[in-house]
């Protein structure tokens, strides 16, 4: 009986199962985490674009976790120096610093890269390439000053590239007075180039030049030379006059005039003033107000010849110390003979003709005299006006006194 009951219950259960709803099971599907690349900051710094004096350079890498989740399996690599460093985990808000110092025997390229895991995703960040030079640029400047004979100096600077990189776009300027001196396209290692300029000098002067250029990494290099001093020596003041004379006609067929050309030159360094041109027989013929250094003067004289004679011209001047100096020309023999030439027409003015080559300035004493006369005339006119004004005022005062006396006499007449 009991067995029959168990069989019935089993059959009932099978029948109920056939009419029940089917059961569905769900499994969770993994979702890709949303990654914000700005949560990771990766930077690099280099001690210089060229190697230091010891031929090495330091590269520093910095990784910052700015997110809210840790970074895992973090790795920093760089082709320069074959650098590779690994960090298991970098917590949120933390920072990791890596560094390497490499010897640069030739130009290298730094190409840093960061890889890590963040919130279940792989992150990769790469920085831009940076070139690192093999040598440090070096430029040596040597400035010299050479005086000339014409009150100028030649300033010369030699530039030598003592570094291991080529310098380009060199610009040389005057650091004291300003202005461009020279432009040089390039200067290879070990080469030298010279720039120069001619400058006027007066007394003491100083010179300093500057060079601006670019190296092979486009970094700007600027260097200033040492200051070169130059003091011009005091020039000795020397007057050196010479006198030459020549007659157009030395033999005249009858008494008359002949033209004599006189040339005066000052080969010294100082001007001669108040120079007298004279002849032994005729005395002073002309006075030169000034004969500048280096400026020759030529004048023509009309000399009267009545008999055989000799023309002995001379220049006389006094220096600053009061010493009298005399310069003679060669004598010119003049004569009257039937076989001679026709004399020149009689001059209508002073025997001195016009200046043939008017290089000498006009006589400044004449202008001073005219200026003095003008000042005297003006002063006299002012004085005359003052006297006339005083006389007029005096007359007016006398007239007023007479009027007052007449007014006082009038009441007495009325009373009488």
Q: If DSSP states are collapsed to H, E and C, what string results for the chain?
A: CHHHHHHHHHHHHHHHHHHCCCCCCCCCCCCCCCCCHHHEEEEEEECCCECCCCCEEEEEEEEEECCCCCEEEEEEEECHHHEEEEEEEECCCCEEEEEEEEECCCCEEECCEEEEEECCEEEEEECCCEEEECCCCCEEEEEEEEECCCCEEEEEEEEEECCCCCEEEEEEEECCCCCEEEEEEEECCCCEEEEEEEEECCCEEEECEEEEEECCCCCEEEEECCCEEEECCCCCCCCCEEEEEEECCCEECCCEEEEEEEEEEECCCCCEEEEEEEECCCEEEEEEEEECCCCCEEEEEEEEECCCEEECEEEEEECCCCCEEEEECCCEEEEECCCCECCECCCCCCCECCCCECCCCCCHHHHHHHHHHHHHHHHHHHHHHHHHHHHHHHHHHHHHHHHHHHHHHHHHHHHC
- 76 compared with 198, residue with greater pLDDT: 76
pLDDT band at 223 (very low <50, low <70, confident <90, very high): very high
Report the pLDDT value the prediction gives residue 84, as an integer from 0 to 100. 94
For residue 135, name the pLDDT band (cuts at 50, 70, 90). Answer: low
Please report the pLDDT score of residue 27 as a whole number: 38
**pLDDT above 90 (res 63):** yes
| Owner of token pair 């030529």 | 298
Q: Is the predicted pLDDT of residue 260 greater than 80, yes or no?
A: yes
pLDDT level of residue 28 (50, 70, 90 thresholds): very low
Q: Mean pLDDT, the chain, as a whole number?
A: 80
Q: Lowest-confidence range among 198-202, 252-256, 402-406?
A: 402-406
Q: List the chain domain ranges.
A: 37-132, 139-231, 241-365
pLDDT grade for 204, boundaries at 50, 70 and 90:
low
Range with the poorest average pLDDT among 28-42, 122-136, 214-228, 399-413: 28-42
Q: What is the pLDDT of residue 339?
A: 86
Q: Judge whether residue 19 has pLDDT over 60.
A: no
Residue-level pLDDT at 368: 67
Check residues 76 and 134 and name the one with the higher pLDDT. Answer: 76
Residue range 167-194: average pLDDT? 91
Q: Is the predicted pLDDT of residue 353 greater than 50, yes or no?
A: no
d(CA 342, CA 253): 6
CATH topology of domain 139-231: Immunoglobulin-like (2.60.40)
37-132 and 241-365 agree in CATH topology: yes
The CA–CA distances, whole Å, from 402 to 68, 132, 298, 350, 407 equal: 120, 113, 75, 65, 9
What local confidence, expressed as pLDDT, does residue 109 receive?
A: 86
How far, CA to CA in Å, does 40 sit from each of 61, 114, 115, 118? Answer: 13, 10, 11, 9
Average pLDDT over residues 88-99: 94
Question: Taken in order 271, 273, 277, 278, is the CA torsion positive or negative?
Answer: negative
Asked if 155 and 196 touch (Cβ cutoff 8 Å), the reply is: yes
Question: What's the distance, CA 322 to chain centroid?
Answer: 45
- Superfamily classification of domain 241-365: Immunoglobulins (2.60.40.10)
Cα→Cα distances 338→105, 123, 289, Å: 104, 127, 41
| Global model pTM greater than 0.75 | no
Among 149-153, 242-246, 296-300, name the one with the lowest average pLDDT.
149-153
Which of 312 and 201 is assigned the larger pLDDT? 312
In this structure, the strands spanning 71-78 and 180-187 are unpaired
pLDDT at 171: 95
Architecture in CATH for domain 37-132: Sandwich (2.60)
Q: Say how far apart CA 95 and CA 64 lie, in whole Å.
A: 4
């Amino acid at each position: 009986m009991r067995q029959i009951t168990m069989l019935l219950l089993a059959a009932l259960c099978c029948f109920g199962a056939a009419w029940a709803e089917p059961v569905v099971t769900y499994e969770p599907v993994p979702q890709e985490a949303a990654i914000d690349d700005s949560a990771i900051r990766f930077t690099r710094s280099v001690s210089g674009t060229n190697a230091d004096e010891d031929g090495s350079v330091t590269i520093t890498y910095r990784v910052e976790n700015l997110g809210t989740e840790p970074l895992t399996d973090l790795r920093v690599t760089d082709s320069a120096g074959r650098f590779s460093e690994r960090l298991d985990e970098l917590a949120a808000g933390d920072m990791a610093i890596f560094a390497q110092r490499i010897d640069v025997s030739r130009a290298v390229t730094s190409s840093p890269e960061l890889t890590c895991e963040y919130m279940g995703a792989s992150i990769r960040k790469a920085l831009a390439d940076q070139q690192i030079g093999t040598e440090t640029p070096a430029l040596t400047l040597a400035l010299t000053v050479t005086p000339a004979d014409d009150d100028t100096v030649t300033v010369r600077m030699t530039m030598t590239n003592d570094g291991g990189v080529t310098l380009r776009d060199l610009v040389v300027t005057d650091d004291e007075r300003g202005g461009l001196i020279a432009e040089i396209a390039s200067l290879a290692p070990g080469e030298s180039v010279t720039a120069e300029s001619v400058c006027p000098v007066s007394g003491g002067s100083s010179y300093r030049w500057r060079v601006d250029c670019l190296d092979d990494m486009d970094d700007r290099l600027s260097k200033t030379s040492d200051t070169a001093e130059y003091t011009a020596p005091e020039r000795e003041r020397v007057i050196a006059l010479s006198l030459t004379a020549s007659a157009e006609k030395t033999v005249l067929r009858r008494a008359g005039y002949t033209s004599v050309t006189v040339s005066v030159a000052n080969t010294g360094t100082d001007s001669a003033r108040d120079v007298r041109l004279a002849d032994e027989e005729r005395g002073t013929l002309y006075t030169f107000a000034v004969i500048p250094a280096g400026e020759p003067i030529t004048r023509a004289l009309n000399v009267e010849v009545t008999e055989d004679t000799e023309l002995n011209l001379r220049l006389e001047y006094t220096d600053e110390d009061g010493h009298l100096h005399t310069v003679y020309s060669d004598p010119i023999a003049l004569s009257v003979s039937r076989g001679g030439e026709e004399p020149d027409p009689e001059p209508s003015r002073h025997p001195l003709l016009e200046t043939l080559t008017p290089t000498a300035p006009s006589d400044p004493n004449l202008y001073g005299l005219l200026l003095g006369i003008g000042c005297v005339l003006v002063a006299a006119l002012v004085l005359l006006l003052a006297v006339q004004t005083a006389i007029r005022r005096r007359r007016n005062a006398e007239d007023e006194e007479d009027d007052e006396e007449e007014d006082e006499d009038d009441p007495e007449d009325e009373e009488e």
